A and B are shown apart, each in its own frame.
Chain A
Amino acid sequence: MNSQSHYDAAIIGAGMSGLAAGIRLAHFGKRVCIFERHNAVGGLNGFYSLAGRKYDVGLHALTNFVKPGVKGTPLGKLLRQLRIDRDEFALSEQKQSRVAFGANGEVSLRFTNDFSVLEAEVANRFPSQIDGFRTLVGLVRTYDDLSLEAVPRSARETVREFIRDPLLEDMLFCPLMYYGSAQPGDMEFGQFVIMFKALFFEGFARPLDGVRVILRVLLEKYRQAGGERRMKCGVKKIVAKSDRVIALILDTGEEITADHVLSSIGSRETETLLKTTESEPSLVATPSETTDGRLSFVETIAILDRAPAQLGWADDTIVFFNDSLRFDYRRPAGQVDVHSGVICFPNNFDYPSGQTLPEGIFRVTCLANYAGWASLPEERYREDKAQWFAAMQESALRFLPEPSIRPLSTVTVTSDMFTPRTVAKFTGHAEGAIYGAPVKTKTGRTAYSNLYLCGTDQGFLGIVGAMLSGISMANYHILAKTV
């Protein structure tokens, strides 16, 4: 029943962080409503169907996978906090990932959900670095990455104290940046630790049916807890007086009031809702952004008429590729940078016996520049997408075994592709930046005492990160205060 106009808490955005926050608040008896502009949930990690096929928006894999019984990790934490049984997520583990550098991927490091594989690879390919690597690993294990007030330090500088080979350094940073970082070139060491654990100590997994499995679990939990949700119902404006938010104006013009407002749409995007005139200065207490612009991506999805394994691609789940020995993670000057990227075969997870995806899927993701796509006329946009689709696949193929059938088009049934413009259009995130603002608001605080941020711009990235962000911010700012 959507008959209320006052809530204990209003949540803007029905993505992973908004839904998780909603579950926490509803479970403890708060009257909460989630407002979502789109007709679908999931935000940056949504799903859609096209011509009878199911697609995932952001998900290659969930990071932070641990086996049952492993305690004290982010996945376990969020399952507890949301009162979800891990079986509900139906996660299947990756087979193997690879970091492949060089004009033809000649230098390669494999890793799996068993950390000892990566360690052995490093020992084998970089024997002079293995001691430094182990010391770095020791530091990562003991570092307190959860502190919200930690003094920032450069990950590159810190890692260089232990790893003296720039090639190994870049090969380690590459997956952590793609999975992901909102900052070009470097990252904060605390963030490096979080990502290192998420990808290397823990690992990758995916439900057979993709991200919709996770979203359905969240939606059901939220509904059972008594949470309300209004879809196709965005927030047009946040009305503030002095240091408090006093109302939300919906796209429909309806006015909503709430004691607390939790916004998952991004810091700059939230700020836009607060502005009363174009010329108002920044009202949200976030650090100013650099003029570098944001990191965004293009992704190609090829649907194949057979499993990748039948083309000779049985082993790799995910490949992080870079065609030189130095890795540069930044927004390209042109539309797309095909020098590096991520290949994903969603088929290549250890799904339960007898369960496979109905078709083969081959995904390639590369760094992109929003400005290169944003204002193109429709026909030019389509042409450019087609051109880059081919270029991205061609670049990626250098890092895979030669497929048993070429050209790939003969086994390609259909394809889809999204650009930064697609992401911006469907999620409202500025410049289609899937990892959000380069500087995060770790505490989630804004200039308003009852308005908080969660999600990508609070700083926990990825699916698990986003859920933990919603949980943490709901706990910290709303639940703990009322205890």
Chain B
Amino acid sequence: MTKDEVKQVVLDIIADIAPDEDLSVLKPEVRLRDQMQLDSMDFLDIVMELRKRHGIEVPEKDYPYLASLESCGDYLMPKFNALASKE
């Protein structure tokens, strides 16, 4: 997967979790919490949806890596690719 594809996966999850947010204006390098109403319950959901939909595990200590779309892309891309290489 490319980093852009990974970022889209995250955006798709956020769209389901927070359908009332306008995602078209999101800046990838800015913290998600600074651009939208996302609290710890929402972040827990992002982590759980990643696992549910894609089998990706994010341990609690790694939650800070999900702060922005850009950092999500950087952190998750190797995880997605590791999964793909197992198939």
Determine whether the beta carbon of A69 is less than 8 Å from that of B20. yes
A55-83 interface (Cβ within 8 A of B):
68-69, 71-72, 76-77, 80-81, 83
Quick check: is A475 within 8 A (CB to CB) of the other chain? Answer: yes
A483–B60 contact, CB under 8 A? yes
- B41 interface neighbour in A69, A71, A77, A483, Cβ under 8 Å: A77
Residues of B close to A475: CB separation below 8 A: 41, 44
* Bound form: Cα–Cα A9–B71 in Å: 34
Stretch at the interface among B23-31, B45-53, B74-82: B45-53
CA distance A85 to B42 in the complex (A): 16
Residues of the A chain whose Cβ atoms lie less than 8 Å from the Cβ of B60: 483
Question: Is B20 within 8 A of A71, CB to CB?
Answer: yes
Cβ of B16 under 8 Å from chain A: yes
How far is B39's CA from A69's CA once the two chains are assembled, in angstroms? Answer: 17
Interface string of A395-429 (1 = CB under 8 A from B): 00000000000000000000000000000000000
Range of interface residues on B (Cβ < 8 Å): 10 to 19
Closest to A86 in B: B20
B37 interface residue (CB < 8 Å to A): yes
**Contacting pair B44 A480 (CB below 8 A):** yes
The docked-state distance in angstroms from the alpha carbon of A29 to that of B60 is 19
Inter-chain CA distance A28–B51, complex, in Å, is 9
Give the chain B neighbours of A69 by CB distance below 8 A.
20
CA distance A76 to B52 in the complex (A): 23
Would B48 and A479 count as touching, CB distance under 8 A? yes
Query: CB distance B47 to A483 under 8 Å?
Result: yes
Which residues in A have their C-beta under 8 angstroms from that of B11? none
Contact A72–B51 (Cβ < 8 Å) = no
Is the Cβ of A85 less than 8 Å from the Cβ of B19? Answer: yes
Closest residue on chain B to residue A27 by CB atoms: B52
| A interface, size bucket | 10 to 19
- Chain A, residues 441-483, CB within 8 Å of chain B (1/0): the string is 0000000000000000000000000000001100100011001
A483-B44 contact in complex given A69-B20, A71-B20, C-beta closer than 8 Å:
yes
Asked if B58 is at the interface of the complex by the 8 Å CB criterion, the answer is: yes
Choose from B37, B44, B52, B59 the contact partner of A71 (Cβ within 8 Å). Answer: B37
**A81 touching B19 by the CB < 8 A rule?**
no
Q: Are B42 and A80 in contact (CB under 8 A)?
A: yes
Q: How far is the CA of A479 from the CA of B58 in the complex (A)?
A: 13
A483, closest chain B residue (CB): B47
- Interface membership of chain A positions 341-369, coded 1 if the CB is closer than 8 angstroms to chain B and 0 otherwise: 00000000000000000000000000000
Tell yes or no: B67 within 8 A of A by CB.
no
Closest-CB distance, A327 to chain B (whole angstroms): 36
B48 with A28: CB separation less than 8 A: yes
User: What chain B residues lie within 8 Å of A76 (beta carbons)?
Assistant: 20, 37
Instruction: A280 to B37: give the CA distance in the assembly, Å.
Output: 48
- Count chain A CB atoms within 10 A of each CB in B16, B17, B47, B48 and give the residue with the most: B48
Contact of B18 with A by CB under 8 A: yes
| Cβ contact within 8 Å between A81 and B45 | yes
Most chain A beta carbons < 10 A, residue from B16, B42, B45:
B45
How many angstroms between the C-alpha atoms of A76 and B41 in the bound complex? 12
Residues in A whose Cβ lies below 8 Å from that of B52: 28-29
Min CB gap B36→A, angstroms: 8
| Interfacial chain B residues near A471, Cβ < 8 Å | 41
Chain A residues positioned under 8 Å from B18 (CB to CB): 80
* Chain A, residue nearest B49 (CB): A28
User: B2 to chain A: closest CB distance in Å?
Assistant: 26
Q: A217: shortest Cβ distance to chain B, in Å?
A: 16
For the complex formed, measure the closest distance between the CB of A466 and the CB atoms of chain B, giving whole angstroms: 17
**Is the CB–CB distance between A72 and B48 below 8 Å?**
no
B37 CB → nearest A CB, Å: 4
B60 (CB) vs chain A CBs: closest residue? A483
Contacts of B45 in A (CB 8 A): 81
Asked whether A83 and B44 contact (CB < 8 A) given A71-B37, A72-B37, A483-B58, the answer is no
| Bound CA–CA A68/B19 (angstroms) | 12
- Contact A80 B51, beta carbon cutoff 8 Å: no
A483-B44, A483-B58 given; 18 more Cβ-contact pairs under 8 Å: A68-B20, A71-B20, A72-B37, A76-B20, A77-B39, A80-B17, A81-B41, A83-B16, A83-B17, A85-B19, A471-B41, A475-B41, A475-B44, A479-B44, A479-B48, A483-B48, A483-B51, A483-B59
Query: A-contacting residues of B (Cβ < 8 Å)?
Result: 16-20, 37, 39, 41-42, 44-45, 47-48, 51-52, 58-60
9 contacts between A and B (CB under 8 A): A69-B20, A72-B37, A77-B39, A80-B19, A85-B19, A471-B41, A475-B41, A479-B44, A480-B44
Q: What 6 pairs across the A-B complex have the smallest Cβ distances?
A: A71-B37, A72-B37, A28-B48, A483-B47, A80-B18, A28-B52
